[in-house]
Every structure is written in structure tokens, then in C-alpha cells.
Structure 1
Amino acid sequence: MQPRNMSMRGVVDLGAVKAASEAAAQRAARAASAPQAGADGAADAAGGFVVDLTEENFDSVLALSQQAPVVLEFSSQRSPHSVELGEVFDRLAAEFAGRFVLARLDIDATPQLAQELVVQAQVQGLPAAVAVIAGQLAPMFDRAAPQEEQLRQILDQLVAVGEQRFGLTGLPGAPGAAAPQGEADEDAEPAGDPLLAAAESALDAGDFAGAAQAYRNVISDYPAHTEAKLALAQVELILRTKDVDVDEVRRNAAERPTDVDAQTLAADVDLSGGNVEDAFGRLVETVRRTAGDDRNKARVHLLGLFDVIGLDDPRVVKARAALTSVLF
């Protein structure tokens, strides 16, 4: 089986499952003819909102997360707690009636698919479940299942997040579900990452310090979260430059060419003003002029500015080569 085409954002971006290769295209073709959740693939006992997740219907089931949260339940008949959890989930799926979709993954019946998802979702043991909201995966619980009332509250929160942040109203027939639309609203805001909701709310309120802390919290839990790292670097740049006197910063930098603090702040001002190459050139030159701790401080700051712009940017590539030349 070919590796599934999922981009990683610390949590797994399951919305990136698409035909980016011949294998992915073949999966999509199989998915197009596979039973849909809520139809033939669903469990009658849960009112048609439970589906057994397989390699063949993977893409089509996860596509339902654009209508309602999809809960991926990792299941095994060898785990009594997992079996008990499945019974609770079935009752709640019937109760919620299409406001979420339960996708049950039998790790014994589909070991290859299970292995992929266990690794990418960082599942440590059963019972376990993760949620997919508008294509974005977020953890629910792992190795310890909540009680039924606690699980009901978790699902209520998932449904609320889906409705409030992404406009998810449930599958057709669910209470409050919107009527199917022929075309998507072109002006609709694209779905975001639920893990970044707190940071985005802080940004909306103009609380840059709060946003920075929220991004740090995400990175603490998900060290590989690329978007959070990039956003944190950008917000920290704003915090460093938002109250400075630009003329004074530039004057101090001109008067003290080997003062690392003066040069790094001037580079921040350059970058925030759109003068990317000037910022990079200033710090490369500062690295060249300094030594010891000062040189390392300038180097580390420059690397941080690379993160703000993005490592694939041609200006970053050029400046990185210049830095290497100065250092070695």
C-alpha cells in the first residue's frame, strides 16, 4: 500500500488527502464508488451515522467532515474497554442524529490503514478517538475512555466548534442541518485549524502577547506544528517592533555597527517594513563583524527571521548561503 498523502501540521491535516500522485488518484477513484456514511456503509442501529472505515471509503468518509465533525474511533474486539466504548458511541451517534459521523476503524481487520493512522495521529493505545473537523484532525482521548456523560459533553463541544468556526450544520436530515447547496459560497472564509482558534481570537482582539502565548501552547503540545511556529515568529516580530521609534532605531544601528542588540532591532524594523533583503544583509554583516556570544546571538536572530519569511523563499535561500560563507 502506498503511503497516504497527508501533510503534517503537528496534528495531521487530513484535508490534504487528495490525488497528488497516481496512488492517491486510484484511492479517490475507489472512494467515488464506495458506500457513503449515512447510506449503505452505516450501522442501522445508530440511525445511519456510523460507518466502518476502510481503505476504499477513507477519502469519501473524511470528506463528510466538511458537513459534520467526523470522529475516528480506533476499535479492537481484543480490547474489552474498546468494545464498551463502541456501544456508547453507537448510542450517542443515534442521539446526535447526524450532527457528527462516527467512523470506526477496526485495527485488526484493517491493519495497514490502522498502522498509518495510529502513527500519524500519535495514538498510544486503546481506547482512543480523534476528531476531524472541516478536514483538520484534533485529539479527543487516548488510552482512557471518558464516561458516557463526559463523552456527550466532548461531542457537544465538537459540534459547537464545527458550527461556530466552520459553519458545519450536520449531515442531511440532522437537526438544524442546512439544505444542500449547488455551489459553495465563494466569499466564505476557508476553514482553519481548530488548534489555532485561541491564538486567532487573541489576534482578532489585538492581543498580540496573548496570541504569542497561545501559539507557544500549541507548539508545546505539538512541536512539529509548522503553522504555529510560523505564526509565532510573525507575532513575536510584531511585539518587538510595535512601539519602537523607527528613526531612533536606525540611528542607533548606524552609530553602533557592532552592537548586536541595535542591529537585530534594526533588522526587525527592516523586515516589518518589507525590506527583507536589507534585514538579512544587515545581520549577515553583523555576524561577520562580531565573534563569540555576540556572533551567535546575531546568527540565531537571523535564523528566526528566516522562519518569518519561510525557508523556501529565494531571499532566504540566498541569505542562508551568505551566512554560511561568513561562518565558514
Structure 2
Amino acid sequence: MTDVTPGAALRGAVDLSALRNRPAAAPAGNAAPVSAPSLVMDVTDETFPQVLELSRTVPVVIDLWAEWCGPCKQLSPILERVVTELAGRLVLAKVDVDANPQLSQAFRAQSIPLVVALVAGQPVPLFTGAVPEQQVRDVFAQLLQLAAQNGVTGSIDIAAEEDAATADVEPAEPELPPLHAEAFDAIEAGDYARAIAAYEKALAENPRDDEARAGLGQVKLLDRVQGVDLKDARAAAAAAPADIDAQFTVADLDLAGGHVDDAFARLLDLFAALPSDERGRVRERLLELFALIGDTDPRVIRARGRLASLLF
């Protein structure tokens, strides 16, 4: 590439005019958009105009490759490593020739890997085929000199790019309080009694611990339905409609199985049928189940409305 004027060797062989004026479209497939440049990016026929514009600020190395090309897979990691070491003074744009026929045709990519550069919108030939890493370094050093001679001396802000990448990382979940962690471990082990004890202790220490209160309600429900046969429970409830414990069991099983309205309806019907002095347990169980589902859930709102009408 020594003593090459930008575009001289490719002028006439490469016609970028059709791509230069193309309106940028959303990148296809897994290609990364180039509106926010990174050191290594995938480029398509549609996003190439942005790369041309970027080359007026920083030299862009174009790596034309294909998935089936063995030498491409040898060369691409070398290109990425050297570009990364240059810390934003060069950008690498990867073009899958099979997915982007217009770019492949424009650069006359008869043999790949084909590596060219863009400096101020003009193509500059670099090399064809897999070459040793030291040769890549030498060629890129000459490319930077050539770019400087043509006033292209910008760079990509690596710090800003790293900050953006960090911002996309989801924050780590906060560590559970010790008693919550103990309850969770107990639930995982199927030891619901130990989990209940841990949550109850957490509530004793902090009565405003809503997460412990919700956890306690959930684990109590799990404990109540553990090992219960639904068919047998329904038969027992049908045989004794006024048996509070039998109705509680079926309501628990319904709730645990996602049949929320059925669970509420069963307990509300039981509440309505019982004498006033026996309703207290049913009301408490209803409130407990309401808390499990959530006060803003429409099913809870409807059930609360019916409970209020039965109370007054």
C-alpha cells in the first residue's frame, strides 16, 4: 500500500456512487447499526452510507468475508485485535458478501477475504487473503499516515463507548436479607416449616417488611397444599359443605392451581352460609388470599366487594 493515493488503485474498479446516495435503512438480521459507531461493526448494503460518512472523520477498514471462508475466519480475529489496540484511530466494518451482494459487487470481491479501506469516502486497497499479523500492523500504520495526509485524523471515543456498554448491563440483584435468604433456601429444600419460621422472625423484627409478609403467605399456602390429593379434597368438601377446614383445603388447591375466582367464590359462599359467630376464620383466610394475589387485581376487587356486601 506504499505511496498509494486514496482511491487511485480502485478508481474505475470500484463504484460507490449508488451506495453513497442510498437512504440508510434499519440494519437487517443481526447487523449492528452504525449510527453510534463502535470499533468493530457489521455493515450492510443499507447502512453503508453511514460508513462512508464516518470515513471522513476516522479511517474505516472494510473486511469483506463469508461464513464458509476458512481464511476469513483466520484473518478476522487479527483485524479485530489490531484495530482494538489502536484505540479508536481506526474502525473495522465487516461485510458478509453473501448477505450484501451490492457491496460485494461494488468492491469486486472475486476473492475473499478482501480488505480495503475508506478514507474521506474514497476506497484504498489494502490486501487480499489471510496475511500475518505483523503485516496487518504495518499496513494499518501506513493507512494512518495516508489518512493524516488527507486530513482524516479523528478517532472513536473509547471511554464513551465503554460507558454506553456498561449502561446496558443490568444491575446485579441486591443481596437478600439474611432471614429472607434462609427462607428462600428452606423453600428450595422443601422445608416449608423452616421457611415459615424465618419469615415470621423477619416480621417480628420489622412488622413493615412487606416482602416477608408476602413470602410468609405464599409459603403457608405451599405448606397447606403439600401432598394433598385434589380429588379426595373435593369429595370431602362436597360431602360436608359447612366444614370450614374442608372448604379451606379446596380453596387453597384452587388458588395454587391458578383458579383464583373459584377459590374466592367457594370461601365467599361459605361465609354467606355460616352463622355470624363462625365467619371470623373465613374472613381471615379470604384476607390472607387477597394479599397473595394483590389488592389491585380485578379478581380481588370483585371479591372484596362481595365480602363487603355480605358484611353489611
TM-score range, shorter chain: 0.3 to 0.5
Normalised by the length of structure 1, the TM-score is: 0.43
Higher radius of gyration, 1 or 2: 2
